[in-house]
Amino acid sequence: MSTGVLLVDNHAIIREGLRSLLEKQPDMKVLADTDEGGKAVELVRELLPDVVVMDVTMTGLNGIEATRLITAEFPQVKVIALSVHSQKRFIAEMLSAGASGYILKECLFEELVQAIQAVAVGGRYLSPRIANVAVDNHLRRLSTTADQPQVP
């Protein structure tokens, strides 16, 4: 069975390049692509892809808000953030919005394939370079919560 993928990025050359590479994968099919988050939400409603590869910062509806809308309405659709941003703010916001993965645009194509395969079967994927940022942020929140007195 083929994994249906929707590509969302505000740069046409990125979408075209990813489409060309993904279409060579025997277990993946690019269903559509768009440059805007609002259109991505519409395409998810229409096509029900398995995975959405979502840019974080776009004009119009950004990737964070589009992810929030997609995952709220279609929890079975998995979103992977594909971004130039490695700052914890972007990572935390995308994961809080419901993204199942976060990879950097500097990664090799094979990493994107691994991420798509992982989230398509219900897993999660973080680029090794940002995994520490995400874990540190999560541990910091747990520590803050644990330090607060519990009221019976």
**pLDDT tens for the 152 residues of the chain, in order:** 799 999 999 999 999 999 999 999 999 999 999 999 999 999 999 999 999 999 999 888 999 999 999 999 999 999 999 999 888 889 989 999 999 999 999 989 999 999 999 999 999 999 988 877 656 655 666 666 555 555 55
Q: Which of 7, 16, 11 is nearest to 44 (CA)?
A: 7
Q: Span 3-147: which CATH code?
A: 3.40.50.2300
Checking phi first, is residue 122 left (phi over 0); if not, alpha (psi -120 to 50) or beta? left
Domain boundaries, the chain: 3-147
